Amino acid sequence: MKPRSPGGVLKKLVLSVLGILVLALFASALYNSACVRLLQSRYPVPGTLYQVNGHAMHLYCTGTGSPAVVLEAGLGDDWIYWQKVQPEVAKTTRACSYDRAGVGWSDSQPDPRDAKNIALQLHALLHQANEAGPFLLVGGSAGGFYIREFTAMYPTEAAGLVFVDASVPAQIRELPDAGYSAATARKIHRDAMWDWLKSASGWARLTRQCKGEVEKGLEAYAGLASAEACRPAFAWSGVSEWDDFWRSAEEAAQAACCGDRPVLVISQDPNRSGMNAQVSANQPIWNSLQESLKNLSPHTRRIIARTSGHHVMIDRPDVIVQGVQQLVLGIRTETTDPAEGTTLVQ
């Protein structure tokens, strides 16, 4: 009997080890997929999934009344970010939050993630759900670009706008390091790919990284957040919007917004404590950009939310709720806000 060569034994050993690793990886991926399905069954998302362009989109509406308030989150953020605001607004009128394509519970879509496509898909989603305008559009951060574009595209359906520390087209020129950077883009894409690999392989699940963390005060939604976590597609949720952020800025700058509609600008506190050096240095520029949003309509006022950072819906939801409720009442009664043109700290 011919003895086995050392090379043949080693090759067989390597192939066996590789086969075991492949099987382990496959089993781990199946485990993650099963956990996702289990958690989504255990924590069903409130609202409804509608088909938009053949892809599921999540919409959550509560309350009754007109104008309906549509809450547009910032880049990569989901409907949960508005859940300190929506329940209170819904006591006054209809209030809707949703997940953009590729975010939260909504499927990804092949279209670019610029302001025009996002506005198109939001309009289609509201139409599918039989949500009737006019709408009071509330946009946080990059959501400010999207509601400006929606207003330009569907002017008869926009009754007013609320900008919540919203992005301003001029920021890409005026804020230091706000322009497009190829190096930053490469890093963001590498990080997203790594997140995808950890999720798709099940490694993140096995190492208990799928916690679905929520902001302070939203602990009641932790289960729903955990049902969103570690889905491979979710790893790319904010990347596509980031890639198209500069295009969205250009589109928002060219959008015919906002006519003579009532506009409320709510901004972070430029004098709050606890800011790092870079954020603090940018505050005079950001504050000026926020003030410039008052030029979008002759019927505009601004509120600086005392002690709040960029996520005003988390830090000072009361300011948003009160401002939205006042705007809703003004639209219903067709009355002019006596504080138009002012900037107040609240």
In tens, the pLDDT along 89-104 reads 999 999 999 999 999 8
Query: Is residue 93 a part of any domain in this protein?
Result: yes
How many C-beta atoms lie closer than 10 Å to residue 40's C-beta? 16
pLDDT reported for residue 3: 56
Query: Is residue 321 a part of any domain in this protein?
Result: yes
Under a CB-based contact definition with an 8 Å cutoff, are residues 189 and 239 in contact?
yes
Query: Average pLDDT of 291-320?
Result: 97
320-340 tens-digit pLDDT: 999 999 999 999 999 988 899
Q: Are strands 95-98 and 68-72 parallel, antiparallel or unpaired?
A: parallel
Q: What is the mean pLDDT of the chain?
A: 90
pLDDT reported for residue 57: 97
DSSP conformational letter for 219: G
* 227: exposed, middle or buried (Cβ count in 10 Å: 0-12, 13-18, 19+): buried
308-321 tens-digit pLDDT: 999 999 999 999 99
Range with the poorest average pLDDT among 36-45, 49-58, 155-164: 36-45
pLDDT reported for residue 139: 98
pLDDT reported for residue 180: 85
Among 331, 344, 310, CA closest to 137: 331
Residue span of the structural domain in which 334 resides: 48-181+238-345
Query: Average pLDDT of 181-192?
Result: 90
97-149 tens-digit pLDDT: 999 999 989 999 988 999 999 999 999 999 999 999 899 999 999 999 999 99
Query: Is residue 220 a part of any domain in this protein?
Result: no
Query: Is residue 17 a part of any domain in this protein?
Result: no
Per-residue confidence at 42, pLDDT binned at 50, 70, 90?
confident
Query: Is residue 170 a part of any domain in this protein?
Result: yes
CA distance 323 to 306: 14
Q: ∠ CA 114-116-120 to the nearest 5 degrees?
A: 120
Query: Is residue 261 a part of any domain in this protein?
Result: yes
Which CATH number does the domain housing residue 160 bear? 3.40.50.1820
Query: Is residue 41 a part of any domain in this protein?
Result: no
Query: Is residue 87 a part of any domain in this protein?
Result: yes
Counting the structural domains of the chain, the total is: 1
Query: Average pLDDT of 159-173?
Result: 97
